């Protein structure tokens, strides 16, 4: 079975590829060179431009679409998250791809106010109406040894500051998922026809508050750090004020918006269909933090 993985250079790709290597014939699509792709067949392309990759889908059985723009500036998000998926679907249909696995997000809901959530939802709609044998996976915040971005940011703050800044009251619910559980779910989907034309929530076993997440990370690090709660309105005001000078975009206006929304997801169908059995936060953190 020949599998094309897009966004192969990213966090989930880095963790997925070693698990598929040797078992499947892999071809990876990436926008730039990545050391972990050494020894793997790959090519450089940009999904925004169909001509850069369409012919490479010849003979591909399964596409796993990990490519997305999670945090870069809003004006490229529509191109990377929607136009890219539209192009990929077109190429898959032309080349007769049998299965299409789309990594979406728990942010892809009608009531989500972020550009990321809106564009991921639009992409999901394209996938659902494509006529392809799709499966959509909707992870919450993913964490692991070398990422993701949201988790790494919190970890860095806890390591660095004597008092840890927390956006708002810290009672927003989160259900972080360990990266290997996401990888496991993707692997289960590849050869499981029960998942065709279905969407699955991919989350940790239990929702916790942001305060609890910060405390668990501190505990795993062996540090006891007091938290400083900064009201959302203050952070939003400061971020807006600093936006033009904030070159590294360490705190984006988009990022702030995510602190408004609870993640408390039903994963029962994922457990039933995919025998999904995610790690508890403490176990996942112990594997992620050295």
Ligand X SMILES: NC(=O)c1ccc[n+]([C@@H]2O[C@H](COP(=O)([O-])OP(=O)(O)OC[C@H]3O[C@@H](n4cnc5c(N)ncnc54)[C@H](OP(=O)(O)O)[C@@H]3O)[C@@H](O)[C@H]2O)c1
The closest of 170, 139, 171 to 70, measured between CA atoms, is 139
The tokens of 73 are what?
Answer: 């500036």
Query: If residue 137 lies in a helix (H) or strand (E), which one and from where to where?
Result: strand 134-139
Give the three-class secondary structure for 102: strand
CA–CA gap between residue 269 and residue 111 (Å, rounded): 22
Establish if 70 lies at the interface with ligand X (CB under 6 A).
yes
The closest of 9, 263, 6 to 138, measured between CA atoms, is 263
CA–CA gap between residue 100 and residue 204 (Å, rounded): 24
Applying CB under 6 A, among 5, 10, 37, 63 the residue interacting with ligand X is: 10
Instruction: List binders of ligand X among 131-160 (CB under 6 A).
Output: 139, 141-142, 148, 150
Q: How far is the CB of 49 from ligand X (least distance, A)?
A: 8
Establish if 273 lies at the interface with ligand X (CB under 6 A).
no
Question: DSSP for 274-287?
Answer: H---PPPHHHHHHH
Q: How far is the CB of 234 from ligand X (least distance, A)?
A: 26
Residue 40-59 contact track with ligand X, rule CB under 6 A, x = bound:
------xxx-----------
Applying CB under 6 A, among 17, 20, 62, 69 the residue interacting with ligand X is: 69
Q: Which CB, 68 or 158, lies closer to ligand X?
A: 68
Establish if 20 lies at the interface with ligand X (CB under 6 A).
no
Interface contacts to ligand X, rule CB under 6 A: 6-7, 9-13, 31-32, 46-48, 66-70, 80, 84, 103, 105, 139, 141-142, 148, 150
């Amino acid at each position: 079975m020949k599998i094309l993985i897009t966004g192969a250079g990213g966090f989930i790709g880095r963790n997925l590829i070693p698990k598929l290597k040797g078992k499947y014939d892999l071809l990876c699509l990436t926008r730039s060179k990545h050391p972990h792709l050494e020894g793997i067949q790959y090519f450089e392309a940009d999904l925004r431009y169909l001509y850069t990759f369409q012919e490479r889908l010849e003979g591909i059985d399964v596409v796993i679409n990990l490519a997305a723009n999670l945090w870069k500036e809003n004006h490229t998000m529509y191109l990377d998250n929607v136009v890219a998926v539209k192009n990929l679907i077109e190429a898959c249909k032309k080349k007769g791809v049998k299965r299409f696995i789309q990594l979406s997000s728990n942010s892809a809901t009608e009531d989500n106010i972020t550009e990321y959530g809106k564009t991921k939802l639009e992409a999901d709609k394209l996938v659902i109406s494509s006529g392809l044998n799709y499966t959509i996976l909707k992870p919450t915040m993913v964490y692991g040894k070398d990422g993701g971005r949201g988790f790494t940011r919190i970890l860095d703050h806890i390591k660095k500051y004597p008092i840890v800044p927390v956006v708002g009251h810290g009672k927003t619910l989160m259900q972080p998922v360990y990266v290997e559980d996401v990888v496991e779910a993707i692997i289960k989907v590849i050869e499981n026809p029960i998942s065709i034309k279905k969407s699955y929530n991919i989350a940790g076993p239990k929702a916790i508050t942001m305060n609890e997440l910060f405390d668990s990370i501190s505990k795993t690090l062996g540090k006891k750090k007091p938290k400083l709660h900064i009201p959302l309105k203050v952070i939003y005001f400061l971020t807006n004020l600093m936006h033009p000078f904030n070159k590294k975009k360490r705190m984006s206006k988009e990022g702030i918006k995510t602190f408004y929304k609870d993640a408390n997801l039903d994963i029962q169908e994922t457990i039933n269909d995919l025998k999904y059995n995610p790690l508890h936060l403490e176990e996942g953190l112990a594997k992620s933090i050295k």
